[in-house]
Amino acid sequence: MQNAIIKMNAEIDSSNNPYVKVIGEFLKAHVEANPQDAEKILVDDKTILHSLESMKAEAKEKQQDGMAILTDAEGFAVVLKYFDIEGQAIIPTATVAPLPSTNNTQKSSSRFDISLDELL
């Protein structure tokens, strides 16, 4: 389990993408609650950034007028599926920090309420 957390921390620290941190914190909480899934995180070619690309592909399938919305549960489910982790995504309320707002006049109710261009 510790090696999976080290791998995720390294990717979080080396990325400027704020969504990598959100997904990384979710995955760390998931692995702490489900240590049997740690080895799936450690697969060499599986990364947090690539899981975001899977999320982007899922959103593209749902898009309407160039925009798509994934709920937190839908977004995290895509991430777990990318890492070949079965089961339902449990959304931690205290461990996943909200993203910084880029528009102070409109707050999103979901971390995944974003345009496709904004994702990657």
Task: Quick: pLDDT tens for 19-65.
Answer: 999 999 999 999 999 999 999 999 999 999 999 999 999 999 999 99
In the beta sheet, which residues pair with residue 67?
Answer: 64, 115
Q: Which helix (H) or strand (E) holds 81?
A: helix 72-82
Decide if 119 contacts 39 (C-beta within 8 A): no
First to last CA, the chain: 28
pLDDT in tens, 55-103: 999 999 999 998 999 999 999 999 999 999 997 777 766 544 555 555 5
Q: Which amino acid is at 21?
A: K
pTM over 0.85: no
Largest CA distance in the chain: 43
Q: Coil, strand or helix: which one is 115?
A: strand
CA gap 2, 74 in Å, rounded: 27
